[in-house]
């Protein structure tokens, strides 16, 4: 059960897959310096820093109320922002991309002054806002949002029949590229209303429960949606098109599906996978976290995005990822990668959210690990291990997964694959599946609807397991290199010396060695220890499918 040796062909295929991934999910980094070393710009700092004018208030509620004009490729309207002051102050920091116009910002009947700096908007109040009190401002804006970034930002496309098809997806770039808000990850509104007016022959699907639609008698119809849970800004979305709707239920949870007319038959077959997906994740973690808002899948012109309760889908109604075998080991073709991965984010990403982009593995490492839990639940543990270990070909171990806080830097792709392989390793370290399942469930329930950083998670795991695993978390998440298990066989006296070589000085992690079916758990540290050699030297194996480590023998 060693890490399989890969032939040149397989390695080339893996590289090709990795390249596909880069274009589909993230910006290529090959020509850019490692992500942790690029200096932040002023715009990065404005975006990422949770400074005084963000920290002085706590978001309560948004009502985003806009009109979308497909012909002009423009948007206009307002966001009403309700917040509670935490400190006395006269200024707050909001965000709206510099290319969009601020029409006016008002509190009641008072027009407020605004100062712009890159994509930041400082709003100044003529009187001191008092700590403990709630205030509301109406932020009117208009303009033509830019089509940028991994998923397009805000795109004005047409479907194959020539009808407008308008979508938003702005996780990396930020929601401020199409609407004004407090654009950071730490603070979420408690609830939100979304009203999108579009030409009356079109449909808007946004997050939350459908409230109703109103004919505005000027050729436009307003679609109203209500989000009844905390929501990330980047999760807020509009999807405007000639959508057809069909629905289903899982117990008392409404499932709603919206696709273009030509996709209806394919979708009715493919979207049946939503039920076993929900069943699997509910089995491991408890109820779907956004019950009152329902669960939706919505066709979109990009691969997919975890918009809360309104997951967008563009995976060609086929299994695998964009019709490819995603981890290259024959498992991912058994399911629709986008339905499983993006919906996994309802648990990790949307319900449990990172408070800073530096800790984004809490979204991506976990969602990737949840893919393997889905495989385990549906197809068994062997398939799950095979699937997970297929991810090794995508890991680079070149930069730490956790990046610097406060600069809104998306971590390297290792956050997905290495993050998942790390969680699988942690399960093997715990070495007691009942305990592991309990830990996963309790951890999710404990942090549900919270925005956390990695330290919160580590503290919780350590407390639950009654052991300090901090050096293990640090080695996998805050260091680039994997730990290496060094084995030195002494043939003459039939012993094996072993230790960890790791960047973390206190690194200590149990691991299984011996032979499949006859593993023995040893507890190496960074100091040499010796054990008897119980097999032929060549037969001494390390369970590298259960523990993601390097092994060096001498
Ligand atoms: Zn993801």
> Digits of tens for pLDDT over the chain (554 positions)?
333 333 333 333 333 333 333 333 333 333 444 555 689 999 999 999 999 999 999 999 999 999 999 999 999 999 999 999 999 999 999 999 999 999 999 999 999 999 999 999 999 999 999 999 999 999 999 999 999 988 899 999 999 999 999 999 999 999 999 999 999 999 999 999 999 999 999 999 999 999 999 999 999 999 999 999 999 999 999 999 999 999 999 999 999 999 999 999 999 999 999 999 999 999 999 999 999 999 999 999 999 999 999 999 999 999 999 999 999 999 999 999 999 999 999 999 999 999 999 999 999 999 999 999 999 999 999 999 999 999 999 999 999 999 999 999 999 999 999 999 999 999 999 999 999 999 999 999 999 999 999 999 999 999 999 999 999 999 999 999 999 999 999 999 999 999 999 999 999 999 999 999 899 999 999 999 999 998 888 899 999 999 999 999 99
Helix or strand run (H / E) with residue 195: strand 191-199
Cα of 364 vs centre of ligand 1, distance in Å, is: 5
d(CA 384, CA 193): 40
Cα of 493 vs centre of ligand 1, distance in Å, is: 51
Cα of 326 vs centre of ligand 1, distance in Å, is: 14
- What residues contact residue 39 under an 8 Å CB cut-off, 6+ apart? none
pTM over 0.85: yes
SS (H, E, C) 424-472: HHHHHHHCCHHHHHHHHHHHHHHHCCEEECHHHHHHHHHHHHCCCCHHH
Cα of 357 vs centre of ligand 1, distance in Å, is: 13
Cα of 404 vs centre of ligand 1, distance in Å, is: 20
Cα of 398 vs centre of ligand 1, distance in Å, is: 20
Cα of 345 vs centre of ligand 1, distance in Å, is: 7
Cα of 432 vs centre of ligand 1, distance in Å, is: 28
Cα of 341 vs centre of ligand 1, distance in Å, is: 6
**Contact by Cβ (8 Å): 150, 22:** no
Cα of 344 vs centre of ligand 1, distance in Å, is: 8
d(CA 94, CA 81): 10
């Amino acid at each position: 059960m060693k890490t399989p040796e890969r032939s040149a062909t397989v390695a080339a295929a893996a590289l090709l897959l990795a390249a596909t991934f880069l274009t589909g999910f993230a910006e290529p980094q090959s020509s850019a310096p490692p992500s942790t070393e690029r200096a932040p710009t002023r715009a990065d700092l404005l975006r990422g820093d949770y400074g005084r004018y963000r920290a002085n208030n706590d978001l309560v509620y948004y009502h985003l109320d806009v009109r979308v004009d497909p012909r002009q490729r423009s948007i206009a309207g307002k966001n009403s922002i309700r917040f509670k002051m935490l400190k006395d102050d006269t200024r707050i920091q909001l965000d709206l991309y510099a290319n969009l116009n601020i029409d006016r910002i008002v509190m009641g009947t008072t027009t407020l002054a605004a100062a712009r700096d890159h994509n930041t908007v400082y709003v100044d109040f003529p009187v001191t806002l008092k700590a403990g009190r709630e205030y509301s401002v109406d932020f009117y804006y208009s303009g033509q949002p830019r089509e940028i970034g991994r998923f397009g930002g805000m795109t004005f496309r047409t479907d194959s029949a020539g009808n407008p098809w308008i979508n938003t997806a702005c996780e990396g770039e930020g929601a401020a590229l199409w609407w004004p808000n407090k654009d950071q990850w730490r603070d979420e509104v408690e609830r939100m209303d979304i009203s999108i007016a579009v030409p009356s022959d079109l449909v808007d699907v946004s997050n939350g429960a459908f409230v109703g639609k109103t004919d505005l008698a000027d050729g436009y119809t307003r679609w109203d949606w209500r989000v009844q849970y905390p929501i990330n800004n980047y999760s807020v979305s509009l999807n405007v098109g000639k959508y057809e709707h069909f629905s289903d239920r899982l117990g008392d949870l409404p499932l709603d599906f919206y696709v273009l007319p030509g996709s209806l038959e394919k979708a009715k077959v493919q979207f049946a996978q939503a039920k076993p997906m929900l069943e699997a994740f509910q089995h491991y973690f408890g109820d779907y976290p956004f019950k009152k808002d329902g669960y939706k899948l919505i066709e979109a012109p990009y691969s997919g995005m975890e918009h809360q309760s309104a997951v967008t889908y563009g995976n060609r109604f086929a299994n695998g990822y964009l019709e490819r075998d995603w981890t290259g080991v024959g498992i991912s073709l058994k399911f629709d990668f986008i339905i499983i991965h993006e919906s996994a984010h309802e648990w990790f990403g949307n319900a449990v959210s990172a408070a800073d982009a530096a800790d984004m593995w809490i979204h991506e490492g976990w969602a990737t690990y949840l893919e393997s839990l889905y495989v385990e639940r549906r197809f068994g543990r062997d398939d799950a291990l095979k699937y997970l270990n297929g991810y090794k070909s995508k890991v680079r171990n070149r930069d730490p997964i956790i990046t610097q806080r406060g600069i809104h830097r998306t971590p390297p792709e290792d956050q997905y694959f290495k993050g998942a392989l790390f969680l699988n390793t942690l399960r093997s370290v715990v070495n007691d599946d009942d305990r592991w399942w309990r830990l996963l469930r309790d951890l999710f329930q404990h942090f549900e609807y919270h925005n956390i950083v990695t330290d919160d998670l580590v503290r919780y795991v350590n407390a639950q397991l009654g052991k300090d695993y901090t050096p293990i978390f640090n080695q996998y998440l805050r260091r680039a290199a994997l730990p290496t298990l060094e084995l030195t066989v002494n043939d003459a006296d039939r012993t094996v010396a072993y230790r960890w070589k790791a960047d973390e000085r206190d690194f200590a992690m149990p691991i299984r060695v011996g032979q499949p079916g006859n593993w023995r758990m040893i507890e190496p540290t960074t100091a040499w220890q010796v054990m008897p050699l119980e097999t032929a030297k060549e037969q001494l194996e390390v369970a590298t499918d259960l523990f993601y480590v390097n092994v060096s023998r001498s």
